[in-house]
Amino acid sequence: MSLLSIRDLSISFDTPRGMLEAVRHADLEVPAGASVGIVGESGSGKTVLSRAAMGLLHGSNVRSTGTVVFDGKELTAMTRVEVRKNFGTGMAMIFQDPMTALNPVRRIGSQISEGMIVQLGMDKKKAMARSEELLSLVRIPDPGATLRKFPYQLSGGMRQRVMIAIAIACSPKLLFADEPTTALDVTVQAQILQLLGDLRRDLGMAMVLVTHDLGVVAGNTDIVAVMYAGEIVERAPTRELFASMRMPYTEALLKSIPKIDMPSGKRLQVIEGRLPDPTDRPVGCGFAARCMYVQPKCIAEHPPLIHDGDDHLYRCWFPLEKK
**Domain total of the chain:** 2
Asked if residue 207 and residue 84 are part of one domain, the reply reads yes
> Do residue 302 and residue 228 come from a single domain?
yes
User: Of 122, 149, 169, which residue constitutes the final position of a domain?
Assistant: 169
> Tell me, what's the pLDDT at 81?
87
Query: 237 and 214 in one domain?
Result: yes
Q: Which residue(s) pair with 316 in the sheet?
A: none
- 277 in a structural domain: yes
Residue-level pLDDT at 98:
78
Range of the domain at 122: 101-169
pLDDT in tens, 18-37: 999 999 999 999 999 999 99
Query: Which of these three, 137, 169, 201, is where a domain ends?
Result: 169
Whole-prediction pTM:
0.93
Residue 321 lies in a domain: no
Q: Are residues 186 and 285 in the same domain?
A: yes
Confidence (pLDDT) at 61? 92
- Asked if 295 and 180 sit in the same domain, the reply is yes
Q: How far apart are CA 232 and CA 27, in angstroms?
A: 8
Pair 153, 185 in one domain: no
Sheet containing 174-178, strands listed edge to edge, beginning at the edge strand earlier in sequence? 91-94, 174-178, 206-211, 35-39, 223-228, 231-237, 313-314, 306-307
Same domain for 187 and 160? no
Please tell me the least confidently modeled range out of 150-159, 177-186, 202-211: 177-186
pLDDT, tens only, 220-274: 999 999 999 999 999 999 999 999 999 999 999 998 887 777 777 778 788 989 9
In a domain, 245, yes or no: yes
Q: How many residues does the chain have?
A: 323
Same domain, 52 and 109: no
β pairing state of 35-39 and 223-228:
parallel
- Same domain (yes/no): 197, 282: yes
pLDDT tens by residue, 47-98: 999 999 998 888 889 999 999 999 999 998 888 888 888 888 999 999 877 7
